[in-house]
Structure 1
């Protein structure tokens, strides 16, 4: 079962997020073999980025937790909270599968 990583930024962390975004993107590029989907959440002021959601293709919680822990956003204090949880794929690419 894949894992979801759901991260919420600390209040007011947009500048810090933007500062560390190049390193975050490079980190994601180095882990493309694990990433099924991902992107920023945009619930901040004026629809600015305020968190992240990633779906990882791994059956191993430790791999997902390591991925989340070593994200440059996590290492540099962007995130207020991070949830790593198993994720059951039900709808994917607009197809509902039983």
Structure 2
């Protein structure tokens, strides 16, 4: 099953986000599930990072929630909101 994780930052988190980026990246490399894709969400200027998006392949939503809750970005209080949802992939044109 696929799961999306949509995280929005608190206002003014660009510097904090950058200071925790290496720890975040290292943590993502330890994912117990397959990361299909991930990356920052951007503001309308297409440059300012305002959140994070992940698409995971996992057996259980609880595994995704647990992994995401221990992310260094979450621990640093960067994310204002985190939304984890099941996702039914119908088209994949990669």
In the superposition, the TM-score normalised over structure 2's length comes to 0.90
**What is the CA–CA distance in structure 2 between the aligned matches of 1:19 and 1:62, rounded to whole Å?**
28
How many residues are paired up?
94
Taking a change above 3 Å as real, the CA distance of residues 33 and 84 of structure 1, as seen in their structure-2 partners, is closer
Q: What is aligned with 2:85?
A: 85
Matched, 1:76 2:76: yes
Which structure 1 residue ranges, 5 or more long, are not aligned?
none
Superposition CA RMSD, Å:
1.7
Return the structure number with greater strand share: 2
Taking a change above 3 Å as real, the CA distance of residues 45 and 78 of structure 1, as seen in their structure-2 partners, is farther
**What is the CA–CA distance in structure 1 between the aligned matches of 2:44 and 2:23, rounded to whole Å?**
21
Q: What is aligned with 1:67?
A: 67
In the superposition, the TM-score normalised over structure 1's length comes to 0.87
Return the structure number with greater helix share: 1
Please give the residue correspondences for 1:26-45 in structure 2 after superposition, counting only pairs within 5 Å: 26-31=26-31, 33-43=33-43
Matched, 1:14 2:3: no
Q: For 2:23, what is the secondary structure of its paired residue?
A: helix
